[in-house]
Structure 1
């Protein structure tokens, strides 16, 4: 079974949503992920939607498609990849929980 990527585009930020979607799909394919998109009418946060589909990673056209607080919430659960610039944000590691 293929790992799952959650594609996210902020339509208020995107100037070319079809192009952004194509680039997200291309990166997901290149990284070996099966891509899922959010439901159009969801009122849930990105992080909650990602948990709901059990995604392993979120792929964005650029870092500007998420605010810093939402990026922080996501990184508590999954890795985040961006197309341009090509960046990878690794999931936060949790240390010292047993102490």
Structure 2
């Protein structure tokens, strides 16, 4: 079983597993949106594929890299515009991912 990567202070916050597994149905919405995500200590492009409403707020399923380890490179994270943003030219530039 793999461990979750180290949480950096500015990273997107992963969803609480206990709340994700909590009782009752919560609304879910499929989505296909390219985003930039602050994870593993830096901004990275990712694919947001699903939204889920929890009692504490929205979380989204994001994959930021293809990895043979299914616990690495994707996860449910809390929605926060400071750490997850739609991919735009301005957002890429602000995150330092634009052309040098």
TM-score by length of 2: 0.25
Quick check: which one's helix share is greater? 1
